[in-house]
Amino acid sequence: MGSMGPSNAVVDPTPLFSSRVQKWEPGAIRSLLPLEALPGMISLVAGKPSPETFPIAEIAITLKGAAAGKDRIIALQYGLPRGDAGLIRVCLCGGSRLSRRESTALMRTEELIHRVMQVFTDPGDPVLLETGVVGFLRADGQELIPVYSDAHGLNPASLEQTLSTWPSDSPRPKVLYTTPTGSNPTGQSCTESRKAEILRLAKRFNFIVLEDDAYYYLNYGDEKHRARSYLALEREVNEDSGRVVRFDSLSKIVSPGMRLGILTAPAAVVDKVTRITENINLQPSSTTQLIALSLLRHWGHAGFLTHCAEAAEVYRRRRNLFIAAAERHLQGRATWVVPMAGMFIWLELQLPPGEDTFELLKKQVTKNGVLAIPGGAFMPGGENTSYIRVSFSLVSERDMDEACRRIAGLVDGCACTS
């Protein structure tokens, strides 16, 4: 008679996996983070905010048994799917770009973008896409249509060409996704005149502009000459509104650990996003919402803008240091556009034809000792590219110089072996 003891057999569930989940790819950034621990490695990978910009000096937790204030109960209890009403009021009333014609919801920005995409698109639908959010779109099965950008941001002439020559027997794109300020990964910012042209195209071809503007407040330029948002421009340009859905984020200007983003959109859109939230994760975190509300009330709108200006100055100084290092080591080996916002620089390495930065970094990472994101990670089709995205948000001045020297060695080594 066989043993009646416990079996060590483990059932393999992978044959039962859906075809949908097989389409999810490793995150381009997260998959590289373990390599940061290698001795001597200099990482230009993650766009993590500099801790010196964090406005909270201490978080205190008082355990049960102390006075149970109303705020504690709110922070630990279920809340509304759209987010805390007080925080929503602060977001609507405090921002000059936010209009009372729109409604607002709170959540992680990535979740909000995903849910808005679900509101407007079905699997297989075409999506006009600047570089950026591609992982979940690939997995959801949308057809990704790249839109050309240059040093002045998204190019409306290229967009018009794409839409004007769209096959008459194919469904037209209903959505354009763009990151107009300090774009991730390119660092480019779209001019106000281009935004106006793109808004006219949105009306002419009847599509929605998804304005993902996480770096809006990390702008190094004079606020008086800063390009207004698509949301703020729409009524002036088109004499109507409703084709802009805007995403703001507290991650880069307050704390990424809060995981709080702000959706501003027509009420009908917010209602659908809220319906999805009710059925998936019920609500955004009550605890982090209370922290954000307390901070914003403490600051007031003027104090919030002062903090943002101080944070932007931190990154402006870091940008200048990195550009100086690049000029010392990468002249003739790479080209770049000096960003006016954000925390990224998009380096085009002068590689032999056909050489891909993903393969180059993969082969040389441990030998050369520098980490960056290969450009293909941001391309809708995952095509080969000679670009890399570098982040200057956390790197010391000394490591910036050494990183640029090592990137130069990568380019020189590739040229010698071609």
Find the helix packing angle between 192-205 and 156-164, rounded to 10°. 10
Q: Whole-angstrom Cα distance, residue 280 to residue 91?
A: 24
Residues 202-241: tens digit of each pLDDT? 999 999 999 999 999 999 877 777 899 999 999 999 999 8
Given a contact cutoff of 8 angstroms between Cβ atoms, the answer to whether 273 and 119 are in contact is: yes
Mean pLDDT of 173-188: 91
Q: What tens digit of pLDDT does each residue of 106-148 get? A: 878 888 998 888 899 888 889 998 876 666 777 777 888 989 8
pLDDT score of 319? 96
Average pLDDT, the chain: 84
Tell whether the model's pLDDT for residue 164 goes beyond 90.
yes
Residue showing tokens 């980490």: 371
Q: Report the pLDDT value the prediction gives residue 392, as an integer from 0 to 100.
A: 95
Separation CA 266–CA 274 (nearest Å): 12
Q: How many CB atoms lie within 10 A of CB 329?
A: 20
Closest alpha carbon to 226 in 214, 239, 217: 217
Question: Does position 282 have pLDDT exceeding 50, yes or no?
Answer: yes
Query: Is the pLDDT assigned to residue 67 strictly greater than 50?
Result: no
Q: Is the pLDDT of residue 97 over 50?
A: no
Distance of alpha carbon 34 from alpha carbon 38, whole angstroms: 8
Q: Which residues contact 190 (CB under 8 A, 6 or more apart)?
A: 152, 153, 154, 178, 180, 181, 198, 227
User: For the whole model, what pTM was predicted?
Assistant: 0.85
pLDDT 10s digits, 326-354: 999 999 999 999 999 999 999 999 998 88
Looking at residue 29, what is its pLDDT?
Answer: 63
For the residues 64-78, what does the mean pLDDT come to?
A: 64
Predicted confidence (pLDDT) at residue 276 exceeds the cutoff of 80:
yes
pLDDT of residue 100: 42
Q: Which of 224-233, 314-323, 358-367 is the least confident region?
A: 358-367
Q: Classify residue 400 by burial, with Cβ atoms within 10 Å: 0-12, 13-18, 19+.
A: buried
Backbone angles phi, psi at 265, to 5 degrees: -160, 165
Whether omega for the bond prior to residue 173 falls within 30 degrees of 0, making it cis, is no
Whole-number Å distance between alpha carbons of 238 and 416 = 54
**pLDDT of 96 above 80:** no
- Specify the pLDDT at position 166: 96
Cα 410 versus chain centre, distance: 28
Question: How many residues in the chain?
Answer: 418
Phi, psi of 168 (to 5 degrees): -65, -20
Q: List the one residue out of 76, 96, 97, 80 whose CA is nearest residue 88.
A: 80
